Amino acid sequence: MAMSDTPQYGLEQARAQLPLIASEAVAGYSSVITRHGKPVAVVVPVDQWREQQARSLQQGGVLALRGTGRGLWPEGAANSVAQLRDEWA
């Protein structure tokens, strides 16, 4: 469903119609809540939200940082650390 097809509710209207908005979410529909005509929140079915969270974790999160530290340590830093460990052992 495109954003333009998604029902939109102003804050006061959303407050008054929250049971309807929740029922729509249970039925699989999303709703947009606006403030002064601008979208500020989206109510989505919980299954859809969980799927999005899982995708975000797979595509981003900690895994997105993998390899970003390359070049932060100078050449031979591992040897220096190993020598210090040997001294303290």
Structural domains in the chain plus CATH codes = 1-48 (3.40.1620.10)
Average of per-residue pLDDT across 66-78? 77
Cα torsion angle, 55, 56, 61, 64, sign: positive
Report which of residues 23 and 5 the model is more confident about: 23
Cα torsion angle, 77, 80, 84, 89, sign: positive
Q: For residue 40, which phi and psi values (nearest 5 degrees)?
A: -125, -15
pLDDT band at 13 (very low <50, low <70, confident <90, very high): very high
Instruction: Record the pTM.
Output: 0.60
